[in-house]
Amino acid sequence: MLNPVERSNTTFDDVKGADEAKEELTDLVEFLKNPAKFARLNAKIPKGVMLIGPPGCGKTLVARALAGEAGVPFFFASGSEFEEMFVGVGASRVRKLFEKAKAMAPCVVFIDEIDAIGGRRDSPDNRYHKMTLNQLLVELDGFEQHTGIVVVAATNIPETLDPAITRPGRFDRSVLVDLPDIKARKEILDLYLGGRSANDVDLDTLAKSTPGMSGAELNNLVNIAAIEATKRNLTKIPMSIIRSSMDHVAMGPARKALVIRPETKRLTAFHEAGHALVGFYSPGQNEIVKATLVPRGHALGMVSWLPNDEHLTSKEDYMAQIDTAMGGRVAEELIFGPSKITPGAGSDLQQATRIARAMVVQLGMGQKIGKLAFTPQELQRGMMSPDTARVVEEEVREILEDSYSRAKVILSSHKKELDLLANALLEHETLTLDEIKMVIHGQDIKGHMTHKKTQEQELTAKENELYGAPVADHIPDLTAGLSPKQPLAVEAQDTTKEEKQRVL
């Protein structure tokens, strides 16, 4: 059943980032506090507000903050909660929700994932939701702007909503809750670290290194770092562990126990060196962060790049990404021959194909198909004709073949650097941008790497000295106070066999 009403203690001060969204909602706070003020001039405050943005960006938090800032009751419901297998249940629940809201006005009614019931009524997938959606539309029309009810909804796929929902008089204000910018990411990281960070943690550097991450993803990053610091018995989270956690989030945990054959490791080294070298010489590609042969997730190695924090990506940028993805397969072919290429480049080719197809079909960057563009929904409905689909596939194939040729030219003309870089990876396993530059320019990095290893050991020792603590200081003894024979959980004496099976 629908969630009960609650009092929200969250305010706009608790919402880091989303400054534009908070500014858009300030007049609604004033309306909820003093609706009579707006009634004097017959000013009509929006009945509904649609919060739009990617998952994990804080849409629910913003809705709670709106209610908390105004000091009014907060009704929470998810779009999926209205629907069951019985026809008419959804419409009934919508009516009951608004009856409660009217009885407790002024208040905020929040419907999360409204696309679950608010999808287009002409779609076959939404034929069972028509009654629920119709009832919601009726309720939005059924109360005046001065009753003190503000309906807030959230979705990350607004293009799937029925036009009747977003017309004036219903959800007539759209508020974007977007991915946090660099300033907001710094505030979010500071909030989640909450005094747990070590003195060497640089929030500015972390904020620059995490573009495109939502608030939920930043929270997950900090939590993984906190778990790792706890496993090392530290009382603070140092920068080195946070950087390691970023690799964990991007590629999965390091597979330290994995045994790799020498020939496989050598092939992987040339594969990753191919990616790094093509990206290094491709205009439009972002800077390399590091190249490594440490296996993570399903990958035996990886090259990570500084993410792009720009809102616009040019055609040159996309082409550089495709060329870089091709670099691994090209390196395998040049060094080991066409008959020795492996399926290791499968994900690279899929990524390159995905970018090329998006350029042609959605971004108007193709030559043959021209400025024609399709939305993902139109593609799912099969609105592209067979002739157009054939032209798209031909153009995508040409883009990929041209990209493969460019990557081959780069690696063929820099084959000496490719050998040096692959051998350096085999010897040292992980190289940063500065170390990659040193290798490409023919400099000996053995002394540099020895000094770096010594510094890392000293840093680890310093971290343990500064932030280390006895295990008993921060891991509670869950068995304290129990006798040796006392169980940790006591089963109810009168539980029947049927009840036990139901619990299990």
Please identify every residue annotated as catalytic. Answer: 272
Distances (CA, A) of 416 to 223, 225, 420, 423, 437: 43, 39, 6, 11, 14
Query: Is 302 in a helix, a strand, or coil?
Result: strand
Helix (H) or strand (E) holding 480, with range, is: none
- The Cα–Cα gap between 446 and 299 comes to 27
Residue with structure tokens 């290194």?
A: 209
Tokens of 62: 């913003």
DSSP state string for 162-221? -TTTSSTTSS-EEEE-----HHHHHHHHHHHHTT-B-TT--HHHHHHT-TT--HHHHHHH
On whether the CB atoms of residues 90 and 135 are closer than 8 A, the answer is yes
Helix (H) or strand (E) holding 401, with range, is: helix 386-413
- The Cα–Cα gap between 470 and 238 comes to 17
Which positions ≥6 away from 438 have C-beta within 8 Å?
Answer: 445, 448
Pairing label, strands 173-176, 48-52: parallel
Give the up-direction half-sphere exposure of residue 343: CA atoms within 13 A in the CB hemisphere: 1
Residue type, 361: V
In 48-142, alpha helices (H): 59-70, 89-103, 115-118, 130-141
Which positions ≥6 away from 156 have C-beta within 8 Å?
Answer: 52, 53, 54, 55
Residue with structure tokens 């995508």?
A: 396
Q: Which of 310, 407, 350 lies closest to 358 in space, CA to CA? A: 350
Residue type, 326: M
On whether the CB atoms of residues 303 and 279 are closer than 8 A, the answer is yes
3-state helix, strand, coil in the chain (%, to 5): 55, 10, 35
Distances (CA, A) of 88 to 36, 113, 289: 36, 20, 56
In 232-303, alpha helices (H): 239-251, 262-281
Q: How far is CA 86 from the centre of its chain?
A: 35
Residue type, 166: T
Output the furthest CA–CA distance in the chain (Å, rounded).
81
* Beta strand ranges found along 334-429 (DSSP E): none
